[in-house]
Amino acid sequence: MNDMKIIPVFNQTFRTEVTEMSQVGEARRMAFEISAFIGLSETEAGTVSIIVSEIAKNLIKHAGCGEVLISPVQYRDEFWIDILGLDKGPGIAGMAQCMQDGYSTTGSPGTGLGAVKRLSTIFDIISAPAAGTAVLSRLIRKQEKVKQLPPLMDIGVVNVPINSEQVSGDGWAVAESSGRTVLMAADGLGHGVLASDAARAAEKVFREQSFLGPTELLEYIHNSIKHTRGAAVAIAEVTHAKNMLKYSGIGNITGILHTAEKSRNMVSMNGTAGGEARKMQEFAYPFAPAENSRQPLIIMHSDGIATISALDRYPGIENRHPALIAGIVYKDFRRGRDDAMVLVAKKRP
């Protein structure tokens, strides 16, 4: 019986560049429209708009330019918006001052990153000299229903289409049952609508069959999306009681198991789900916290992201929220010639 609790998603990140103050208003309007789309109240939508506006202003002040990413996500009966402000500027030297509630980039009262933090359900920020800054604000829509048990892992995702397209050909999904978390990353061949169709088909099969083991699920997806142009697909399954990670992939999805001590690429086989796939194989990796209790990270990304290196230039990045880490990976390693998707997951303490 499939008892998996599916985490459905809106599977797309909305992006706007901010290079001058006139674009702050554009980012704010986009935020309001997305908020209305996922059913936030007018008050909550206004809060999202304020957060986006202040983050955009800070990009101009501290870096001269940057980009704002807005990712609407649905989890069970809960909706949230992740707002990321990303830049490659000199970094923020006066972080303590910027985080004072009421400190303003424009001199007006009640704004500043301190106010963004106060307005957010979840807030995180990291900055490094010569590498830039990433700011995360997550606003969760308030629910009248009784809350379900929280997920076993925190997740964060960025899924941005190539500039020439309106939809992303990359996809992802997450599901949980008691003691087990399963993650999927997919990259439809090429980009545009047909690539998106392949990724959405893989997500649909995942939602229906996520109780299967990684290789069996990958084979099921492979056989079920042959009517599409095909996709690279990878499945990661964490069994929490055993501190074990099982991984099965086909094609050019990159899966990384990252700890404070080292990173290792998990093994995918050659081929295409829905196309030619000669062999599928499952690999097992230990998934236990380090002696310092730092939880390992799972990072899965499409080939719109280059080889990840030098994450250690952001001290303590392993302790940051997965959504902030996804933003850093996107910011520093996006190729720019394809859709770019990054999924990061970390076990809750």
pLDDT tens-digit readout, 288-309: 887 666 789 999 999 999 999 8
pLDDT of residue 263: 87
The single-letter DSSP state of residue 273 is B
For residue 216, CA distances in Å to 1, 42, 281 come to 15, 45, 10
Check if the beta carbon of residue 122 is closer than 8 Å to that of residue 321. Answer: yes
Q: In the Cβ-directed half-sphere of 83, how many Cα atoms lie within 13 Å? A: 30
Residue 162 CB burial class (10 angstroms; 0-12, 13-18, ≥19): buried
At 50, which helix (H) or strand (E)? helix 42-63
Check if the beta carbon of residue 38 is closer than 8 Å to that of residue 141. Answer: yes
Confidence check: pLDDT of 6 > 90: no
User: Model confidence over 94-104: pLDDT tens digits?
Assistant: 666 666 655 44
Please report, rounded to a whole number, the percentage of residues in the chain having pLDDT higher than 70: 88
Q: In what order do the strands lie in the sheet with 153-160?
A: 153-160, 340-347, 297-301, 254-258, 263-266
Q: In the Cβ-directed half-sphere of 73, how many Cα atoms lie within 13 Å? A: 25
Instruction: Delineate the domains of the chain, giving CATH numbers in brackets.
Output: 9-140 (3.30.565.10), 153-347 (3.60.40.10)
At 127, which helix (H) or strand (E)? strand 122-128
Query: How many beta carbons lie within 10 A of that of residue 315, not counting itself?
Result: 9
pLDDT of residue 315: 84
Concatenated DSSP letters of 157-187: EEEE--TT-SS-SEEEEEEEETTEEEEEEEE
pLDDT of residue 1: 41
Query: How many beta carbons lie within 10 A of that of residue 286, not counting itself?
Result: 10
Secondary structure of residue 134 in the 3-state scheme:
strand
Phi, psi (rounded to 5 degrees) for 329: -60, -45
pLDDT of residue 329: 97
Task: Kindly give, in sequence order, each residue whose CB lies less than 8 Å from that of residue 27, ignoring residues fewer than 6 positions away.
Answer: 16, 18, 52, 53, 56, 68
pTM of the model: 0.92
Q: 216 falls in which pLDDT band (50, 70, 90)?
A: very high
Helix residue ranges, H only, 120-273: 193-209, 214-224
Mean pLDDT of the chain: 88
Check if the beta carbon of residue 112 is closer than 8 Å to that of residue 98. Answer: yes
pLDDT of residue 142: 65
Check if the beta carbon of residue 169 is closer than 8 Å to that of residue 215. Answer: no
pLDDT of residue 110: 42
